[in-house]
Structure 1
């Protein structure tokens, strides 16, 4: 209800006060923006569901995916995609193993991982923008718009469907919910918590890698700044979608709608000409309100 309410408010306020907000061009921009953020957010959903708060490294992971993709193009398009996804999944898996196996604080671990990845990328690239091999446009199809719909958005939808089915129909999905709902009960049920946590982080890393590939193809270059504020927007999308930061409740479908709402809000603020500071302030305030409402509702439901 919170997500639908925010959607309706933004739609009405934007449509009545901001010329161009309801235009076809803006709708396309919202769809494209929601895809980049949403793909990262779908992976973030798995981390939240298993009760690991959230990751501060997925934005940087997407940048690493973009670098790896362009470097990998020297070996062909398919190899580049596989290299980027495998590398980002491996980074996620290592973080998940440390968090799930050693019980380390996920915020500290993922912040450290983000700094390590960023520092390594600076050393490897010497701070220079990475470009695709000269004359290589094999990735251009990733910017296609079949029937007017960006391919990145279609990939976003596909990931939502696949991960939602995984959560609802597989043992691994049930284990993620179980770990998030009650860690002690999951341990008593002989669920391998380090394995589940590492797998959730690995899938999240892979999703960030996919986003990095699409961002690299869209921008036709890769830099550390490619991550922008997408890590925060991804967290916001998951929370606005109704997932509990403490785990055990949420879904990929809810995150899908959360990403749409965040993209609409960002578009509205941008069209109205608000500064980056104001945009962050508004997003932060909305996330805070949503978290408070969800916390009060969850606490009331437990009584």
Structure 2
């Protein structure tokens, strides 16, 4: 892996300063959180690595004010055991701080963080999961404690890659379609809140499908903004799914984003049939693109195998 100090790392000085701030916030937040814990396994927990991956590590990030698209900093945080990857327990305050820094303009680039234990990352590398092997290949180390190496990645055979990809596609795309169908049934009965939750689940699963088909991995999150951002970074064509040029379009997407929690638990959540119809029409566009992209990937793997 590369270090942020290696010659040839083509990150502008402003981006480097932002990343230094991100690293400082992650380290400070983690130290504060574990210091509050009584159990030794939490209090003595260690943050082992902070790695920049994705477009900023590869050097192909996008900043498009006209199209209103800006690449995130994709960050992998590696800790010494799985319990420390629990976001609400150990990272929520830090993520709130990061959001505040972005909102205040102290960090201009959005930050998207995933959390894994060293054992889990090494297991994924031994299984040849593309997502993690690409991080080892392209990632830039922003911080690390010495003495905790990654395993040497294994390369899947074409037949193995095809089998795993096919299994993921069949399971997740079918699951997304079931939620989509159930959302339509609920909407037809006027059960709009239930329909909104179900269409959120369908949307989430379509995104997971493409992530799994492309990388044999998908982020453990129900945060639609994060999942959408990371999947659009994988496939820029997906940016066309959610237009936000009008107040109505922006409101509809926000209603969808909030539906995972609010459509189930908030009596104040309201969504109209018109808003549901528009969201459903965009999910149809998403479904068609996901199906096309996944079948293309499967065809490539079949020819390779």
The verdict on a shared fold, with TM-score over 0.5 as the criterion, is no
More helix by share: 1
TM-score for both structures, normalised by structure 2 = 0.30
More strand by share: 2
Question: Which fold has the larger relative contact order, with Cα–Cα distance below 8 Å and residues 6 or more apart in sequence?
Answer: 1
TM-score for both structures, normalised by structure 1 = 0.30
